[in-house]
Amino acid sequence: MLSLYFKRDWNESTGNKLTDSWGHSTYYFETDPNGNVLRQIESYENGNKLKYDQDHFLDDYGGLSDQSLDLEEFNDFKIEKDEFEKAWS
């Protein structure tokens, strides 16, 4: 299976009282070819990082997206696997 990788800045409220005070965030996604999210990273201005995958898909701060990404909408946000893996580690 070929995975796709994306990075997108998020400068709006997450709607989560716990993480809203952390500042703006950058989201990283690994998806399958249909846009289903396999792994997700949320990296915040204050240095906090949240990571979600099939083994850890939910916690008090958020969770792995249960919605597929619109691959056409995310086309301009593609990144290489290495960039995603660096953020993941």
Per-residue pLDDT at 19: 87
Rounded CA-CA distance 42/44 in Å is 6
Give this prediction's pTM. Answer: 0.92
Domain regions of the chain by residue span:
4-88
Query: Which parts of the chain have pLDDT scores under 50?
Result: none
Per-residue pLDDT at 85: 98
Per-residue pLDDT at 14: 74
Single-letter code of the amino acid located at 2? L
End-to-end CA separation in angstroms for the chain: 22
